[in-house]
Amino acid sequence: MDALGLFPLPLVLVPTERLPLHIFEPRYRELIGECIDTGGEFGLVLATGDGAVHEVGTRAAVTDVIEKLEDGRLNVVVEGRERFRLLELTSGRAFATALVEPVEDDESDPADPDDVERALRIFHELAETAGAEIELSGASPQLAWQLAAHVDLGADPKQELLALTSPRVRMKRLCELLALALEALRAGAAIRERASGNGKVEPPGSV
């Protein structure tokens, strides 16, 4: 078990993902400041509407300090590292802390190669539709996290992926989420194209 400072936010950080954060609350300025000074990590956990936090989160490290403002606020970039599970909330600091343990994958249940190929194909279609140039390799052991990090899947679906310990189930679910994202992106592009033609958007099936 390990003690970890927690930073609850209404978002999910997956391993390998890089995320800009604006740190303004004094307790979190203290937490992030310590991580900067020591090179340590903090735990980013998804906060729910009632103030609770999810059981599985991601260790995060500050990779870049973009700006230190005179009033103590910070603009930083953090990177997702290993996953953890909350065992027990602790006290004694200005920010929340907890005893945690690592979350390990079940390596006996690897991702289906067909799902890996499908996920990459859908992702590249997403990138092409969005006009982005991002190349990822199916040979990377972190592929599922890299895919999830590059697509806005929403907090709850990302939390679902984060908590899974079966690489096979995670990749299969990721294929479904990527397909939904591609469908939504194409639908949005079609609406914008119709709207740019005559300033009106006609419902599907209208004459």
In tens, the pLDDT along 13-40 reads: 999 999 999 999 999 999 999 999 999 9
Spatial separation of the C-alpha atoms in residues 94 and 36, rounded to whole Å: 17
* Residue whose structure tokens are 């600091």: 93
In tens, the pLDDT along 171-203 reads: 999 999 999 999 999 987 767 666 666 555 555
Decide if pLDDT at 168 tops 50. yes
What pLDDT band is residue 2 in, cutting at 50, 70 and 90?
A: confident
Decide if pLDDT at 56 tops 90. yes
Q: What is the DSSP letter of 47?
A: B
Cβ distance 96 to 6 under 8 Å? yes
Closest CA to 108 of 160, 164, 167, 154: 167
Q: What secondary structure does DSSP assign to 169-191, as a single string? A: HHHHHHHHHHHHHHHHHHHHHHH
Greatest Cα pair distance, the chain, in angstroms, is: 66
From residue 205, alpha-carbon distances to 177, 190, 191, 201, 202 in Å are 26, 14, 13, 12, 8
Residue 138: predicted pLDDT: 74
Section 42-70 average pLDDT: 94
Decide if pLDDT at 84 tops 90. yes
Domain residue extents for the chain: 2-102, 113-198
Decide if pLDDT at 207 tops 70. no
Residue 119: predicted pLDDT: 96
Cβ distance 59 to 162 under 8 Å? no
* Residue whose structure tokens are 């310590």: 34
Residues 6 or more apart from 147 whose CB is under 8 A from it? 119, 120, 123, 136, 174, 178
Spatial separation of the C-alpha atoms in residues 118 and 181, rounded to whole Å: 14
Residue 194: predicted pLDDT: 66
What does the mean pLDDT of the chain come to? 91
Q: Given CA atoms 116, 120, 122, 126 in this order, what sign does their dihedral have?
A: positive
CATH architecture of 2-102: Roll (2.30)
Model-level pTM? 0.87
Spatial separation of the C-alpha atoms in residues 52 and 38, rounded to whole Å: 28
Torsion on CA atoms 146, 147, 150, 151, rounded to nearest 10: -150
Element (H, E) at 99: strand 97-102
**Beta-carbon neighbour count of residue 166 at 10 Å?**
16
